[in-house]
Amino acid sequence: MAAPVLHIGNKNYSSWSMRPWLALKWGGIPFEEHIIPLGGEGYGQSRIEAVRAVSPSGRVPALSVGDVAIYESLAICEWAAEQTPSLWPADALMRAQARAVASEMHAGFAALRRDMSMNVRRRLEREPHWGADTRQDLERLYALWGGLHARFGGPFLFGAQRTIADAMFAPVTTRLRTYKVSAPEAVQAYCASIFADAAFQEWERAAEAETWTIDQAEALYR
């Protein structure tokens, strides 16, 4: 069978695309990459035709494995873990906790995602004033990362091993940097560990080299 094809959006903006991309890289799973520039007509409405051609949901990422489309970030990560089980902790209880953490990112932090969209290239001069719901999300993030660091010792959320939980939260580290967020020391240390990761740096270099922009996304900073 040919290598799976991961269909992703612009690396500068597409946080959901980064997550399974990192999981596949960390799992040592060969795959082909197909970037679909987002923006323009149908953006934000799941109506971009090039996306709908590869993803039944009309959203990226999607992974084509033979004639099967896996079209959701966490599902792609789970598929990766089927190939490389070490993407989850070996201990059953830790593994369950890591799945809970990954699921919390997948389903939660709505205000943070609304107000702090990913833009790898962008750096604000000062941290904005956050509303109560975004501040609440940040406080939960600090408690989560800080608690895991205290329990498992870092440098990643569950110790020395990179897991799908880290893949799910990696885009958030870029948001904290973009928006110049003042965060506790343990949070800053975790961000530094992600920024030093070779796969993350590969994504970051590609994002910085992209020439595409999404007007709707850039308008947030005007």
Tokens read off for 20: 């399974």
Contacts of 42 (CB under 8 A, 6+ apart): 48, 49
Average pLDDT, the chain: 94
pLDDT at 46 over 90: no
pLDDT at 44 over 60: no
Read off the pLDDT of each residue in 26-46 and give the average, rounded to a whole number.
81
Question: Which tens digits make up the pLDDT trace of 182-206?
Answer: 999 999 999 999 999 999 999 999 9
Q: Domains of the chain, with CATH numbers? A: 5-84 (3.40.30.10), 86-203 (1.20.1050.10)
Predicted pLDDT of residue 212? 83
Rounded-to-integer distance, Cα 4 and Cα 211, Å: 26
Question: Which tens digits make up the pLDDT trace of 99-141?
Answer: 999 999 999 999 999 999 999 999 999 999 999 999 999 999 9
Question: Which tens digits make up the pLDDT trace of 130-186?
Answer: 999 999 999 999 999 999 999 999 999 999 999 999 999 999 999 999 999 999 999
H helix intervals, the chain: 15-26, 49-52, 73-83, 92-107, 110-115, 132-152, 164-178, 185-195, 198-209, 215-218
More confident residue, 46 or 15: 15
